[in-house]
């Protein structure tokens, strides 16, 4: 029962019998009771006031001369200023994991040697920009947070989300879950967000203390400069969580393909900016306070000059569709639900021996965690790398026939692998103890390039069944490929028994990007919102 309920039920029937009978109480007794009521209330107000004012600049002086703030979060000093544990998150859109092996990223490799580098990070399905950027900051699969693609139709609201329409994309109705900047703000920390997808929306009633809307043609060095400007703010204005987004690598690869020399130049540009950022953090004596986490949302596959188009209008009457969503995949939003069964049957027959699979929404493999029914089309065509779903009219109208770089496919495909590099005081050294139960990986003994098939992290029996079904369908659709078996192996961690050169080159095991939210919450010292990550994941990565 809450206070309001108690007050409502109190009334004439709750008064003392002598008052009900018209007897006056002694004055001294009335005053005593009044004092007994006032004193506890005063104590409660004092405690509440003290709690609400935690974190303000007050009380003792530090040896450096700056007032030491009183706050519930941990406080650290660089010798002249007070800081809370700080995290800088940088996303480099489309930075495929193996770009780090091209010999053009000396700064990121140096950061990885000082801190951690994962072999790769597994994006969420579909491996597109908006779904994965929001997964990174919420720890939820797209099927849980609701940003299921870069564009989609919601049958409940009869409205369409389109990532390039800012007036529509900032509407809070689209954004489920709780991004890390909201978690931080709700728990007394400030956040500064520079062009991150979703950051302009009011989510859970909150926005970041500082937010910069997306703008084209802002160089990476200018974005890292904004991070440094925020780090240089006074304590009571300085954000503890900072994030910035860099699209240069992705946009260049889309235009020219991931293997073009211009992509390497874009990678070098980003690498230089990130190296400069860490150098400036070091110059401020903040390397024992600030943690830097560099990630990407997905990888990139090479297009094939228009030869990999799947013209869906060759198989079905597209006038029966409200729209096709989720490119390069095909979410077929059917106007009349009565047409779904026949359309699916037609496509299922047509898919035999083709580089695509078709599913009813409820039959999409469970390993994709793709379950937001009102936003996922009733029929989904999942194309294989590097094919994409379109129509002949659309291809001619929008010149979509020749994409040179494509992503959005099965999140387990090697070409979709994302990047993770981190450095800072929160992260364990390379000689950290390995997890007690190493994750197992299954590697098919087949020609993966011919099959378009990934090696897969297998977490449960359902995922194993889905994987084997994917392998079976891939082999059936590629008569020339032969599966010879599977090999299961433990992924090795650094264990302190290797020489220094070996330790510098150790890569940590792959992991899903839903784990990042819990990792970031742990670094910031905030209580995470419910998410799809693993509860004890952070203990093997952080001190």
Residues with a known catalytic role = 129
CB 523 within 8 A of CB 131: no
Q: Determine which helix (DSSP H) or strand (DSSP E) holds 444, and give its type and residue range.
A: strand 440-444
Query: Dihedral of the CA atoms 530, 532, 534, 539 (nearest 10)?
Result: -60
Pairing of strands 86-92, 241-246: parallel
Tokens (6 digits) for 23: 């007897």
Q: How far apart are CA 316 and CA 379, in angstroms?
A: 12
Q: Which residues contact 48 (CB under 8 A, 6 or more apart)?
A: none
- Exposed, middle or buried, 147 (CB in 10 Å: 0-12/13-18/19+)? buried
Radius of gyration of the chain (CA): 28
- Angle between helix axes 220-231 and 261-283 (nearest 10 degrees) is 20
| Other CB atoms within 10 A of residue 344 CB | 21
3-class SS of residue 213: coil
Q: Which residues contact 494 (CB under 8 A, 6 or more apart)?
A: 430, 431, 432, 434, 503, 506
Q: How far apart are CA 288 and CA 281, in angstroms?
A: 10
Which stretches of 296-404 are assigned E, i.e. beta strand? 301-302, 309-311, 321-325, 330-334, 356-360, 379-383, 388-390
Q: How far apart are CA 233 and CA 230, in angstroms?
A: 5
Q: Which residues contact 461 (CB under 8 A, 6 or more apart)?
A: none
Q: How far apart are CA 18 and CA 187, in angstroms?
A: 49
* 386 preceded by a cis bond (ω within 30 of 0): yes
Q: How far apart are CA 419 and CA 293, in angstroms?
A: 10
CA 226 to chain centre: 22
Evaluate the CA torsion angle 181, 186, 192, 196 in order and state its sign. Answer: positive
Evaluate the CA torsion angle 159, 162, 163, 164 in order and state its sign. Answer: negative
Residue 309: strand pairing partners: 388
Quickly tell me which residue has 């990047």 as its tokens. 419
Angle at 487 between CA 483 and CA 489, to 5 degrees: 155
State the DSSP code for 203: B
């Amino acid at each position: 029962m809450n206070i309001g309920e108690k007050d409502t039920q109190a009334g004439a029937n709750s008064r003392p019998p002598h008052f009900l009978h018209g007897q006056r109480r002694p004055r001294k007794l009335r005053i005593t009771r009044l004092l007994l009521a006032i004193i506890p209330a005063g104590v409660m107000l004092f405690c509440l006031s003290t709690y609400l004012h935690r974190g303000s600049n007050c009380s003792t002086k530090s040896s450096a001369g700056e007032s030491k703030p009183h706050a519930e979060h941990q406080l650290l000093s660089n010798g002249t200023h007070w800081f809370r544990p700080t995290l800088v998150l940088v996303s480099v859109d489309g930075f495929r994991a193996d770009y780090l092996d091209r010999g053009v990223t000396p700064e990121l490799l140096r950061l990885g040697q000082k801190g951690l580098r994962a072999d790769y990070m597994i994006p969420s399905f579909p491996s597109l920009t908006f779904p994965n950027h929001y997964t990174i900051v919420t720890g939820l699969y797209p099927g849980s947070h609701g940003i299921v693609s870069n564009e989609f139709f919601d049958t409940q609201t009869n409205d369409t989300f389109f990532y390039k329409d800012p007036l529509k994309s900032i509407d809070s109705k689209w954004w489920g879950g709780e991004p890390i900047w909201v978690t931080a703000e709700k728990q007394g920390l400030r956040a500064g967000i520079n062009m991150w997808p979703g950051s302009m929306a009011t989510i859970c009633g909150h926005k970041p203390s500082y937010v910069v809307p997306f703008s084209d043609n802002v160089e990476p060095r200018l974005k890292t400069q904004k991070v440094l400007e925020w780090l240089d703010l006074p304590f009571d204005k300085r954000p503890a969580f900072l994030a910035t987004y860099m699209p240069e690598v992705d946009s260049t690869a889309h235009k020219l393909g991931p293997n073009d020399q211009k992509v390497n130049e874009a990678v070098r540009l980003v690498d230089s900016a990130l190296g400069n950022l860490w150098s400036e953090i070091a110059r401020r004596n903040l390397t024992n306070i600030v943690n830097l986490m560099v990630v990407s949302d997905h990888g990139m596959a090479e297009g094939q000059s228009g030869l990999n188009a799947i013209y869906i209008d060759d198989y079905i009457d597209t006038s029966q569709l409200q729209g096709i969503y989720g490119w390069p995949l095909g979410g077929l939003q059917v106007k009349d639900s009565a047409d779904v069964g026949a359309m699916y049957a037609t496509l299922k027959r047509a898919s035999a021996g083709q580089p695509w699979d078709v599913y009813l929404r409820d039959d999409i493999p469970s390993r994709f965690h793709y379950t937001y029914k009102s936003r996922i089309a009733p029929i989904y065509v999942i194309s294989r790398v590097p094919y994409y779903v379109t129509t002949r009219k659309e291809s001619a109208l929008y010149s979509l026939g020749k994409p040179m770089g494509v992503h959005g496919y099965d999140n387990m495909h090697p070409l979709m692998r994302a990047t993770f590099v981190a450095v800072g005081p929160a992260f364990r050294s390379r000689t950290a103890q390995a997890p007690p139960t190493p994750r197992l990986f299954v590697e098919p003994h087949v020609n993966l390039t011919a099959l378009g098939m990934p090696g897969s992290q297998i977490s449960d029996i359902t995922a194993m069944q889905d994987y084997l079904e994917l392998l079976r369908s891939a082999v059936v659709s590629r008569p020339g490929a032969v599966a010879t078996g599977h090999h299961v192996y433990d992924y090795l961690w650094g264990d302190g028994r290797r020489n220094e050169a070996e330790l510098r080159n150790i890569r940590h095991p792959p992991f899903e990007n839903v784990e990042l939210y819990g990792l970031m919450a742990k670094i910031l010292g905030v209580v995470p919102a419910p998410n799809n990550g693993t509860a004890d994941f952070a203990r093997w990565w952080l001190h």
